[in-house]
Amino acid sequence: MPFYVMSQWKRLESAPPESLYPVLDSLNQLGEVPWVINKPILDLQIKIFREGGNKKLDIAPPSSKLDTSQFQDGTDAAAAFKRRVAINRARAEMHSLWCDALYKLSLANHYRDSVFWLPHNLDFRGRVYACGPHVSALGADAQRALLAFARRRALGPRGLHWLKLHAINLTGTMKKATVEERLAYADSIMDKILDSADRPLEGERWWAESEEPWQTLACCMEIANAVRSPNHEEYLCGFPVHQDGSCNGLQHYAALGGDAAGARAVNLAPLPRPQDVYSAVAALVEEMRVRDAAAGVPAAIILENFVHIEEFPKEHVWTCSQYLTAKTFDSLREMFTSTKLIQDWFTDCAKLISAVCGESVEWVTPLGLPVVQPYYRRAGPSSGQYRPALDQHQRPCTMKQRNAFPPNFIHSLDSSHMMLTGLHCEAAAVTFVSVHDCFWTHPNTVDIMNKVNLTLTELYKVA
């Protein structure tokens, strides 16, 4: 194996076995959750796929449906050649996406009557991924909607409450609303939710306007089944409800730096109304742009009144993108006082470790996983032959080591928090699945999982 792999492997071999048990237990916990295919959703996706696909619903159409009128006709041989090349490239891309959709739907159809499991693996930072790339919770909306828990649990007194809330969350239309406002909205459009469940393709198609249409439709169907059951509290449900993190990287920086204002901005502190840090950053960038435009800065003047990138003049894309990048980081420094200081300290440490000491940056996560950054200078020609393999005499690549350390370290902390949450949920007999910072569980156990999710504070007490 290459040296950069062996270096972390040696750390793992030398670590006491019991120090790795929490990480391995977490992988086992995630992999032991049984799944089934949501057959009504699968049947609808297959129907749309066979009828020519639907780009808006992320069901790839065949390459024969390519609209060639969008490609400009050439007035000379060179332009005509470019048009043919562009059309062939677009057809190849469409065919690739169509084959991918065919494979995923075929795989889901193969398991439509089976219970299956998704083993999990982790990368060098400790971030966890499901091994099956085609039908898993890591997939896009259409693939996620195909999954349901094989173990069904009664909704209980608050399960329907969480199903309604989840349906509205999936639409993405009420991100700044309180929980009470979202529930009231769900009740006010219950006729649309039920129509979506009963007539997904022939009715009003409310679900199709959602940010996550297929998951919204699956949730509508589950709500319809629950409200029409004799007692919704006893209705057995296998539908997974998600609890999403918001700006997890900034949440960890706020916790590391004890930044109370930053914690409120990224919903780390309990507030009745969710905070939207993206809108706050955008507003701050716009304030800076207005000041710069008044001072005569060309990029700030060019950006005046532009919203849609498709309309933006191509000759100014590079200059203005660089300007916006700088202003975005300036606004983040202003909003999160400790984040930039911590990042600078991380990069300074990585520079000293790699450039002065000649070592890779390495650390141990709160759950005991040793991490070694695998970034080394590539070996050059030697004796007329190129040596792609790394060896123990190669020095670390300082630039990669310093640039990668802050995000890699935060990813390892985020993964540790996820693992802690999963282990606590397992101890409480709560089904738990993670897609990085998005946690899944049964509707009746969301409240329990949310209490367990407070292990983030425990993580930093330990750290």
- Digit-coded pLDDT (tens) for 373-396: 999 887 655 544 545 555 556 789
At 22-51, the pLDDT tens digits run: 999 999 999 999 999 999 999 999 999 999
- Please tell me the predicted confidence (pLDDT) of residue 17: 92
The pLDDT value given to residue 48? 97
* pLDDT category of residue 455 using cuts at 50, 70 and 90: low
The span from the CA of 57 to the CA of 289, in Å, is 37
Q: Which residues pair with 372 in a beta bridge?
A: 362
| pLDDT of 458 strictly over 80 | no
Q: How far apart are CA 379 and CA 111, in angstroms?
A: 47
**Mean pLDDT, residues 410-426:** 93
Q: Could you tell me the two tokens for 15?
A: 């670590």
Task: Please report where in the chains the tokens 């909607």 appear, as a residue.
Answer: 145
pLDDT tens digit sequence for 241-290: 999 877 778 888 888 887 777 777 777 777 778 777 788 888 889 899 99
The pLDDT, as a whole number, for residue 383 is 45
pLDDT of residue 436: 84
Q: What is the pLDDT of residues 195-225, one digit of tens each?
A: 999 999 999 999 999 999 999 999 999 999 9
Q: How does pLDDT run across 326-367, given as a tens digit for each residue? A: 998 888 888 787 888 899 999 999 999 999 999 999 999 999
Tell me 378's DSSP state: P
Active site residues: 244, 314, 437
User: How confident is the model at residue 1, as a pLDDT?
Assistant: 65
- Tell me the average pLDDT across 298-324: 81
The tens digit of pLDDT for each residue in 162-196 reads: 999 999 999 989 988 999 999 999 999 999 999 99
pLDDT-derived band of residue 307, with 50, 70 and 90 as boundaries?
Answer: low
Asked if 318 contacts 377 with a C-beta cutoff of 8 angstroms, the reply is no
The pLDDT, as a whole number, for residue 389 is 52
Q: What is the pLDDT of residue 81?
A: 82
Sign of the four-CA dihedral 414, 440, 262, 284: positive
Tell me what pLDDT residue 332 has: 82
CA distance 149 to 347: 43
Contact status, residue 421 vs residue 439, Cβ threshold 8 Å: yes
Q: How far apart are CA 436 and CA 411, in angstroms?
A: 9
The bridge status of strand 381-382 relative to strand 385-386 is: antiparallel
Mean pLDDT of the chain: 89
**pLDDT score at 281:** 86
| C-alpha–C-alpha distance, residues 374 and 377, integer Å | 10
pLDDT at 283: 87
| Per-residue pLDDT reduced to its tens digit, 97-107 | 999 999 999 99
